[in-house]
């Protein structure tokens, strides 16, 4: 399994340069604000999102290079191949969040933002969203391939988001109630994310065991 993970990191190392670009993007609003009102959660959110995207990129590279076929000629069980994808995705999400938090800490030290309880709440939400995203993306890719899954994931994320925006625009969403539910959600969502990850892994193993490549 170490070989599979090493392949992932060596293969996408050029993408790590992208993080430098992302960090630069995060700094632009700081420079614009110049008054310490920059939200630290923005940097963490962007870096975590890139971490989630690494999961897609890895599958995309596998398909493009035909590694997805070649890996089945190597001495791995199909469970190990699935497990390596989950491990890699979780590591990349962790790296993304870690970078985002580190950047926020640097900005806070420079007096450009604040690391408060709200920031930790945001990080908790982002971690839960990342777990749910990975749980959704991996079995979809194993089942439908990268291209179809990308469209399915966009639809799954966009539809509820747009519905919420539309409802909020019509005044149908009680802002105070949503804000009141946030602390409870912050406790429940990470548990849901972890549970989803376990279920997702089992589904992926089931799909991949039957898959003919």
Partner 1 sequence: MDSIIFKNISKEYGDFALRDVSFSVPRGSIMGLIGENGAGKTTAIRLLLNMIRADSGTIEVFGLDHAENEREIKEQIGVVMEEDCFYESLKCKDVAAILRHIFKTWDDALFRSFVKNFGLPENKRLKEFSRGMKMKLSIAAALSHRPRLLVLDEATSGLDPIVRSEILDVFLDFIQDEEHSILISSHITSDLEKVADYITFLHGGRVVLSENKDKMLYEYGILKCGAGDFAKIDAADIVRYRKSAFGYEALTADKNAAARKYPDITLDSAGLEDVMLLMIKGETK
What is the size of the binding site for partner 1 (CB under 8 A)?
A: 23
C-beta closer to partner 1: residue 8 or 38 = 8
User: Residue 9 corresponds to which tokens in the numbers above?
Assistant: 């990191």
CA dihedral over 11, 51, 62, 212, signed as positive or negative: positive
Which residues within the stretch 51-90 sit at the binding site for partner 1 (CB under 8 A)? 61, 65-67, 69-70, 72-77
Nearest to 19 by CA among 104, 95, 113: 95
Kindly state the DSSP code that residue 15 receives in the 8-state scheme. Answer: G
Which residues within the stretch 154-213 sit at the binding site for partner 1 (CB under 8 A)? 212-213
* In the complex, least distance from residue 213 CB atom to partner 1, rounded to whole angstroms: 5
* In the complex, least distance from residue 19 CB atom to partner 1, rounded to whole angstroms: 16
Nearest to 89 by CA among 51, 62, 125: 51
CB 88 within 8 A of CB 8: yes
CB 111 within 8 A of CB 36: yes
* In the complex, least distance from residue 42 CB atom to partner 1, rounded to whole angstroms: 30
C-beta closer to partner 1: residue 49 or 61 = 61
32 near partner 1 (CB under 8 A):
no
Kindly list the residues in this chain that would bind partner 1 in the complex (CB under 8 A): 2-4, 6-7, 10-11, 13-14, 61, 65-67, 69-70, 72-77, 212-213
């Amino acid at each position: 399994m170490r070989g599979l993970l090493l392949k992932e990191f060596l293969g996408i190392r050029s993408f790590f340069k992208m993080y430098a670009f992302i960090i630069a993007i995060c700094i632009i609003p700081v420079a614009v604000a110049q008054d310490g009102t920059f939200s630290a959660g923005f940097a963490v959110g962007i870096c975590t999102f890139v971490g989630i995207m690494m999961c897609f990129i890895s599958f995309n590279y596998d398909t493009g290079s035909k590694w997805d076929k070649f890996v089945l000629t190597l001495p791995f069980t199909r469970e190990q191949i699935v497990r390596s994808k989950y491990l890699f995705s979780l590591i990349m999400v962790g790296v993304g969040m870690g970078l985002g938090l580190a950047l926020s800490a640097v900005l806070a030290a420079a007096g450009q933002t604040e690391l408060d309880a709200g920031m930790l709440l945001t990080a908790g939400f982002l971690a839960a969203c990342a777990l749910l995203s990975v749980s959704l993306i991996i079995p979809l890719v194993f089942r439908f391939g990268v291209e179809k899954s990308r469209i399915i994931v966009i639809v799954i994320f966009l539809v509820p988001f747009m519905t919420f925006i539309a409802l909020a625009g019509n005044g149908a969403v009680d802002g105070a109630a949503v804000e009141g539910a946030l602390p409870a959600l912050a406790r429940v969502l990470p548990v849901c994310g972890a549970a989803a990850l376990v279920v997702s892994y089992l589904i992926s193993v089931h799909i991949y065991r039957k898959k003919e490549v």
